Amino acid sequence: MLRINEGDYSYASGLIRAKEPKLLGNSHFARMLDSPAAEDAIKVLTEADYGFGGGNASGIFAFERLLADEMKKCFELLLELAPKAEVIKAFQRRYDYFNVKVLLKAEFAGIEIPPILADTGTIAGDDMKRMIRERDYSEFTELMTGAVNEVYDVFARTKDPQAVDLILDKAFYRQLTADLKAIDSPFLWNIAEMLTDMTNIKMFVRARSLNKSWDFIKKLLLEDGTISEEVYFKNSDKSVEDFAEDIRKSKYGEAVKKGLELVRSGKNSSGLEKMLDDLFIGSIRSAKLVTIGVEPLIAYLFAKEAEIRNVRMIMTGKINGLPADMIRERLREVYV
């Protein structure tokens, strides 16, 4: 068990607290929404020191680069601050798994052009390319090596490209849970549980609305959630409302019910995702009560992720000319 010595986090906690007021709030989002064109919306980001500067943010489609840079900047800051990098790396592995997925899919499809990789993982994109090409897994975690081998094995037999997503997504959540449970922090354990449960709930509701069978759901279901497999099995031939009723007493009950109502009323097709994301950010807010520790750092990471998700929603909405109200309804709650 990796012990967290709170005293090591005093400087880091102070710095993060001073950074929090600089996170984008609802007034920034409102300004972006009210700006006449996407180019003007980007100005709010450059004013907020997004990315690494350097003025390469011109042109409306450059914003994706800007957002990727901002996430990278956030990870660099946290890695510098955290006395134990393992705490931050646990969250960076998401991008390792993403890169492996992209590379394996490209390989199976016989695509020669190097795909665009995320720059925020524990292994740099170019290194990852080489490692997959040369089958060199020495820097991979045990779980990741196992998952990559399984993908090759299953793909060789089934030629099913979906297997790549299925195996690596499941492996990622197993990795996240294993990484976070190895750190002595109930705050991090709660994050692992909530992310797993929320992924299961979203997957289940989507699968039910597509009328998928239990066999299909069972394949996608993650093991480490707090809602047991039995609950999903029992509801696998019932309506999603019955499922919502069954998990009423869990901490997701209220959010799922409200989310499904939003979807049914036609107001917001991604209402469930929004309500669950808001619930998650709400539980992360408990970090505000912690003066010194790992909590402020991790909360900042998720606050940044939520902020970037909102900015991406606004920018794509603006570029596609969606009405401001429609975008506003889809925005997630912010941490601050």
Q: Which amino acid is at 277?
A: D
Nearer to other proteins, 12 or 198 (CB): 12
- When binding is defined by CB under 8 A, the residue of 130, 271, 291, 335 that contacts other proteins is 291
Helix spans in the chain (H):
10-19, 26-34, 38-47, 63-81, 85-109, 125-134, 142-158, 162-181, 186-209, 214-220, 229-234, 240-246, 253-264, 271-284, 295-319, 324-330
Q: Does residue 13 belong to the site contacting other proteins (CB under 8 A)? A: yes
15 counts as binding other proteins under rule CB under 8 A: yes
Based on the shown chain and the rule CB under 8 A, indicate whether residue 44 belongs to the binding site for other proteins.
no
Least Cβ distance, residue 291 to other proteins (angstroms): 4
Q: Does 84 bind other proteins (CB under 8 A)?
A: no
The minimum distance between CB 14 and other proteins, in angstroms, equals 3
- HSE, side-chain direction, 13 A CA sphere, residue 248: 4
Among the listed ranges 6-14, 34-42, 60-68, 326-334, the one in contact with other proteins (CB under 8 A) is 6-14
Phi/psi-derived region of residue 307, left when phi > 0, alpha when psi is between -120 and 50, beta in every other case? alpha
User: What are 37's two structure tokens?
Assistant: 């064109």
The Cβ-side half-sphere exposure at 211, using a 13 Å CA radius, reads 0
Site string for other proteins, 251-290 (x = CB under 8 A): ----------------------------------------
Can you tell me the distance from the alpha carbon of 277 to that of 304, in angstroms, rounded to the nearest whole number? Answer: 13
Kindly give the residue spans of alpha helices, DSSP state H, lying in 110-185: 125-134, 142-158, 162-181
* # residues near other proteins by CB under 8 A: 15
Whichever of 269 and 291 has its CB closer to other proteins, that residue is 291
11 binds other proteins (CB under 8 A): yes
x-or-dash pattern for other proteins, window 97-136, by CB under 8 A?
A: ----------------------------------------
Q: Does 23 bind other proteins (CB under 8 A)?
A: no
Binding site for other proteins (CB under 8 A): 7, 10-21, 291-292
